[in-house]
Amino acid sequence: MKLAKAFAASSLFLLLAASGLHAACSTASVAGRFGFTTTGSIPAVGPVAATGIFAQDASGNITGAQTRSLNGSVADETFTGTATVNSDCTGTDTVQVFQDGSLVRTTTLHVVYDDNGREARAIFTSLVLPNGVSLASIITIEARKLFSREAD
């Protein structure tokens, strides 16, 4: 009887301890291919929306493509960049965006990863044109892995 109680108590302790554990995020743990939607506005210009895909590798390198509408003007764009991921599942991305091979802007994002790295949410923290002009922006991104078991 004492052995059964001791076993039950130790099992309960292990279960409670394990439930408090969570995997720390890293560039490797969130790597994968994502689909995303961007919405918001650039006050000096107008509303902006985009949809696209990107790949983020285990080293934090980002490559992708999107179709973007800025105040009703639609364009296809590509982008490359780097991601840093903190153990608390927050991070910073810096992305250079190109249209027809020419740099059109550099964007910095604050990112939060959730659902074990299967989803990401981001907000633009800076948007800089090639001539160095910074534009105010109110833009968010919702991203989800293309294949939900990709990180598992």
pLDDT tens-digit readout, 20-76: 455 799 999 999 999 999 999 999 999 999 999 999 999 999 999 999 999 999 999
Residues 91, 2: Cα–Cα separation, whole Å? 49
Average pLDDT of the residues in 86-102:
98
Residues 18-33 have pLDDT tens digits of: 444 557 999 999 999 9
Helix (H, G, I), strand (E, B) or coil at 10: helix
Distance of CA 133 to the CA centre of its chain: 25
pLDDT at 4 over 60: no
Q: Does 11 score more than 70 pLDDT?
A: no
For the record, the structure tokens of 109 come out as 């994002």
Assess contact for 99 and 77: CB atoms under 8 A.
yes
* pLDDT > 80? residue 84: yes
Does the pLDDT of residue 152 top 50, yes or no? no
* Cβ proximity of 117 and 32 under 8 Å: yes
| 96-144 pLDDT tens trace | 999 999 999 999 999 999 999 999 999 999 999 999 999 999 999 999 9
Taking the model in full, what pTM does it have?
A: 0.81
Domains and CATH numbers, the chain: 32-145 (2.40.128.120)
Give the pLDDT score at 20: 45
Using the predicted structure, report yes or no on whether residue 10 has a pLDDT greater than 70.
no
**Which of 144, 150, 152 has the alpha carbon at shortest distance from 52?**
144
